[in-house]
Amino acid sequence: MPELPDVEALRKYFNRTSIHRIIINVNVETEDLIHGASAEDFRKFLINREFQNASRRGKFMITNVSNSEKKVVFHFGMTGGFHYHKTGGGENRHTRIRFLFENGYELRWLNQRKLGRVFLVSDINEIETIKNMGSEPLEMERGDFLDLLQEHPRKNIKGFLMDQSIVAGIGNIYSDEILFQAGIMPIRKAGSLKKKEKRHLFEKMRYILKNSSNIKEFIIPHRHGDMKCPKCGGELKSVKIIGRTSFYCPRCQR
DNA sequence: GGTAATGTTAGACT
DNA sequence: TAGTCTAACATTAC
């Protein structure tokens, strides 16, 4: 789930449920997923403080904490999310950390595969991935995007989109979706794209990242479903690129 | 039981 | 140097 649009949804969920509430306890159920502090220091630090309005950078969610310069940063890995629930009921299977609030509710940080991380930092640039992170795709201008493509002509276009040091927040699923909607084959080299294709790619990238849930002709549901192209009805193909399985339609993507 | 899964990184290779 | 590939991390669902 957690690529840019998903982290954005999680950020909104967090802001809706979990900010400006006094934290009365923190239960760390999987200690080694916390970085920047020991589990016990992390817990002690947060007690009697409040989360503040969260922001996002790439696939990371960042929240300030009351009466402190420190920030808590969440990364969800390949699986994960939040669940805000009344304390004591409706357990989630993969709760790794729970933040208990004084109103009798708790925020559960779920992380099935334990590839996620939670950081306590003074500066987000202490996190290497963030320090090296490229541009936010929804904040850059078309010219910036074209320049980036020009800087990496030998990179295949799917690898380009997924490279966090170039463009932040796009992963395996959304790179496929963007390339499908733009009609571009994932194995194409960035340098081989025509001007028109580059502009088209930029527009589709923005559109999909902003409207992730309301496109009828999405390829996403078909990748592990009927394997039929939602545009032409033809059979989808898959290929490994940069170590990830990429789905595409050989008729609609060139 | 083998395999792949919406992520990231280190190290080897071309 | 730039870019790609492989393995590793940990766990689960098909």
Return the amino acid letter for A64.
N
Q: Tens place of pLDDT for every residue, chain A, 254 residues? A: 699 999 999 999 999 999 999 999 999 999 999 999 999 999 999 999 999 999 999 999 999 999 999 999 999 999 999 999 999 878 888 999 999 999 999 999 999 999 999 999 999 999 999 999 999 999 999 999 999 999 999 999 999 999 999 999 999 999 999 999 999 999 999 999 999 999 999 999 999 999 886 666 788 778 888 889 999 999 999 999 998 999 999 999 99
pLDDT, position A219 = 83
Beta strands in A111-227 (DSSP E): 117-121
Tokens 């940063």, residue?
A73
List phi, psi (to 5°) of A236: -75, 155
Cβ < 7 Å from nucleic strand B: A 1-3, 6, 58-59, 75, 77-78, 113, 115, 128-129, 162, 164, 171-173, 243-245
Q: Rounded to whole angstroms, how far apart are CA atoms A134 and A79? A: 23
Q: CA A234 – C1' C3 distance (Å)?
A: 32
| DSSP state letter for A50 | B
3-class SS at A235?
A: strand
Alpha carbon distance, N-terminus to C-terminus of chain A: 27
